[in-house]
A = this chain, B = another copy of it.
């Protein structure tokens, strides 16, 4: 079976717009707070969850235990039908996201790969297909903002062909 090879391109808000939000500060803001002690970059991502059935928005941390070596081959993608999901690095490090548009089905050919600049986080819109998170550095930590409980909020699909994410 042929493999689909993905070379990540730099993550920008424009490129990522079909899939979600880029959580970042660019330049200065025209809003401040607390007597102008801070620049405010407001509402960079809207958290969108299904709150019926006891769901709530939750803040968690995931910490890399077994880093991934690139190139990384995978054949499974997932989506969260009941809510958006944000990952924000808690220190400066780059990471890759691989996504495909929300929809009932997904093909390897629909996947796009992006690499962050070290200070960016992302928010997947509800239902957007994505590669399960990987980290390349042991101990690196991401803040997660998504729906709890997680049970019943993940769908996985095995792709029609394996995918290789190239080094970045």
- Nearest B residue to A56 via CB reads B46
Cβ of B58 and Cβ of A47 under 8 Å apart? yes
- Residues on B with C-beta less than 8 A from A61 are 23-25, 40-41, 44
* Interface residue tally for chain A (C-beta within 8 Å): 55
Cβ of B57 and Cβ of A39 under 8 Å apart? no
The residue from B39, B46, B59 contacting A63, defined by CB atoms under 8 A apart = B39
Q: Does A7 contact B (CB under 8 A)?
A: no
Cβ of B47 and Cβ of A135 under 8 Å apart? no
The residue from B35, B41, B60, B89 contacting A40, defined by CB atoms under 8 A apart = B60
Cβ of A38 and Cβ of B145 under 8 Å apart? no
A-B CB contact pairs (8 Å), 13 listed: A37-B66, A37-B67, A37-B68, A42-B150, A43-B59, A44-B60, A45-B59, A47-B47, A49-B57, A90-B119, A91-B91, A143-B143, A145-B145
